[in-house]
Amino acid sequence: MRIELLKKSEVSDGSQFFEFLPGKYDGKCWKEESVYLEELVMGFFEGVVKRVLPSYSHFAFQYLDAPATRTLAEDLKGIGTAIQEAREPKVYIQSLADQNDSVHPDMNPFLSEGSEQAGLKLASLAKQLAEWLETEAVKYGGVSILGL
C-alpha cells in the first residue's frame, strides 16, 4: 500500500485508484493535473468524505463545490493532527477505518502492531491532500472525486 499523494506519472490506468480532479468532471479521467490515492488508502478517508458529502459513493464521480472542498480540507488537516498527537495512533487510525462501510482485509496489516511509521505517513498524506484541495478550490471553484 502506497500511503502517498500520487501524480499521473506514478499510477497506471486502472480501477484501484481514486482521482481527485480540479474542478468539475468534464468526461475525461486520468488528467495530469489530478492527484490520486490508492483504493485502500482512500478507505481511511471515506468516513470524513461522507460527512462532508452525504451522497458520496465509493463507485461514483462526485463534485464538491468550493465551500465543501474547504470543509473537507479542514477535516483532513484535523485527522492529520489527531494522528500525530494521539497517544496510540493505531487506535485513532482504526477508528478511521471503522467509519468505512467495510474494512478491506488488505488494510489489516496497516492496522497491526508496528504501524507507527505508516500512521505518520497517513497523517502527512491527510495534510498534503488538504493543501491540494484548498488550492484547487480557489483555482477551480471545487474538485471532483472520481471513484472506482
Q: What is the DSSP letter of 16?
A: T
Digit-coded pLDDT (tens) for 2-55: 889 999 988 876 668 999 999 999 999 999 999 999 988 898 898 899 999 999
CB within 8 Å of 16: residues ≥ 6 apart? 38, 39, 148
Whether pLDDT at 91 is above 80? no
The count of other CB atoms within 10 Å of the CB of residue 139 is 13
pLDDT of residue 140: 97
Q: What share of the chain is helix, strand, coil (3-state, %, to 5)?
A: 50, 15, 35
pLDDT, tens digit, 9 for 90 and up, residues 93-134: 766 766 665 555 566 556 555 567 778 888 899 999 999 999
- State how far the alpha carbon of 122 is from the alpha carbons of 1, 6, 35, 144, in Å: 11, 13, 16, 21
Name the residue among 74, 55, 51 with its Cα closest to residue 63: 55
pTM of the predicted model, to two decimals?
0.87
Could you identify the residue written with the cell 488537516?
Answer: 77
b/e per residue 60-77 (b: at least 16 CB within 10 A): eebbbebebbbbbbebbb
